[in-house]
Amino acid sequence: MRIVRTIVELGAVPRDGVVGLVPTMGALHAGHVSLFEAAREECDTVVTSLFVNHAQFAPGEDFTRYPRDEAADTHIADRAGVDILFAPSVDEIYPDGFQMWVDVQELSKPLEGEFRPGHFRGVATVCLKLFNIVRPQRAYFGAKDAQQVAVLRQMVRDLNLDLELRVLPTVRDTDGLALSSRNAYLSQQERERALALPRALRTRDPVRARALLAEAGVQTDYVDVLEENGSRVLVGAIRIGSTRLIDNVRLEGESQ
């Protein structure tokens, strides 16, 4: 696996055939690995990006304490068959004078957008930049971030981007908790409380899910139904101490 830190360097690395990109913020786990494996199966060249994108963190969020371990991530990506790991500096992505933002206006407003102002603007902007830098034919995302997928689909459509979004199912731990880099923040006791979220979503009913979370005494940002690519998805976000977790289950519709 080649580790590349600049756009110029990346341009010089041969990328044969169909190129698949898996954008990540690192702290890699089996959820990310499922995306690498899908890309490995479907593409000739697999590129992953490792970039903790400050632009998608709202003020007061966990940007500074977000888990970072490039050595472990390098090992995981290499073992999963990634060809190129693109790990740019902040200046490489947001050089001095940077002033261009992508705003998917309506889809970015509710749910995550309400609780994380500016989040999707940061996500859409960095993804468009990564698409332009890496030039993949396919880009791989997790269904765990359902609204992110909806926002990115809209961007691809509205800006006529010549690429296919591939969306892979949420990978869960044996106890049902969706894998997330942020799970590392949870104590054992907090983790047990966090299990209320997948349990609530499994009711497949927003009213019952909200009631279940309230009974469990879990602080809930929202539980609601999101339309995503012809599917209805029950999405939820909770806070356990200072950790914010999201999850969802698809209610019906086309498989993603």
Catalytic residues: 32
Q: Would you say 125 or 170 has its CB closer to ligand AMP?
A: 170
d(CA 48, CA 51): 10
Choice from 144, 228, 233, 244 touching ligand AMP (CB under 6 A): 144
Considering only the stretches 108-116, 168-176, 198-206, 227-235, report the one whose residues sit in contact with ligand AMP under the rule CB under 6 A. 168-176
Helix (H, G, I), strand (E, B) or coil at 54: helix
Residue ranges in 7-36 that form contacts with ligand AMP under rule CB under 6 A: 24-25, 31-32, 34-35
d(CA 176, CA 196): 10
Tokens at residue 113, please? 């957008």
What minimum distance in Å lies between the beta carbon of 22 and ligand AMP? 7
What minimum distance in Å lies between the beta carbon of 28 and ligand AMP? 7
Q: Would you say 145 or 228 has its CB closer to ligand AMP?
A: 145
139 within 8 A of 131, measured Cβ to Cβ: yes
List the x/- string, 180-199, binding to ligand AMP by CB under 6 A: xx------------------
List the end-to-end C-alpha distance of the chain, in Å, as a whole number: 29
Q: What does the radius of gyration of the chain's CA atoms come to, in whole angstroms?
A: 18
Q: How far is CA 85 from CA 12, 31, 115, 192, 210, in A?
A: 14, 17, 31, 34, 40
Cα-based angle 60, 90, 13 (whole degrees, multiple of 5): 145
| H-run or E-run covering 223 | strand 219-228
d(CA 21, CA 36): 9
Q: Would you say 179 or 200 has its CB closer to ligand AMP?
A: 179
What minimum distance in Å lies between the beta carbon of 194 and ligand AMP? 13
Cα-based angle 173, 175, 176 (whole degrees, multiple of 5): 70
Helix (H, G, I), strand (E, B) or coil at 183: helix
* Count of residues of this chain found to bind ligand AMP when the rule CB under 6 A is applied: 17
Q: Would you say 181 or 220 has its CB closer to ligand AMP?
A: 181
What minimum distance in Å lies between the beta carbon of 16 and ligand AMP? 24
What minimum distance in Å lies between the beta carbon of 182 and ligand AMP? 8
Q: Determine, following the binding rule CB under 6 A, whether residue 125 of this chain makes contact with ligand AMP.
A: no
Binding site for ligand AMP (CB under 6 A): 24-25, 31-32, 34-35, 141-142, 144-145, 168, 170-171, 178-181
